[in-house]
Amino acid sequence: MRISGVGPDVPQVVNENGGAQSATPYRFDLLDPIVMFRLAKVIGLGAEKYGDDNWSRISAEDHLNHAVQHIYAWLAGDAQEDHLGHALCRIVLAAAVEQTEMNDHPADVFLAE
């Protein structure tokens, strides 16, 4: 597997202070850190309840069904748990399951230039 934008052959950029580094096409700086903490908390709760790798034995379709359930619970005003955090987690897990089921080099499909 080769992820675009990572590796020894990536072009360099120089910042306004003259510092050189690899160019990156990814904008991790735009991800909201609090949302990432919510995601990590929810996946941790799932790991405590079901085991660390249980999510990988669930189909993408089942993950998405549960994501939709959490979205509708949130829309209905249910406040028993972090429904948007759970929905986000299930969508991320569905994408991870889809990636691994596609082929031996799943990231190539999504991360190619």
Number of domains in the chain: 1
pTM for this entry: 0.82
- Tell me, yes or no, whether 73 lies in a domain: yes
- Tell me, yes or no, whether 2 lies in a domain: no
- Tell me, yes or no, whether 6 lies in a domain: no
Closest of 94, 78, 81, 68 to residue 41, by C-alpha: 81
- Tell me, yes or no, whether 108 lies in a domain: no
**Structural domain boundaries, residue 65:** 28-103
- Tell me, yes or no, whether 95 lies in a domain: yes
39-67, pLDDT tens digit by residue?
Answer: 999 999 999 999 999 999 999 999 999 99
- Tell me, yes or no, whether 13 lies in a domain: no
Give the pLDDT band (50/70/90) at residue 103: low
Residue linked to tokens 């987690």: 89
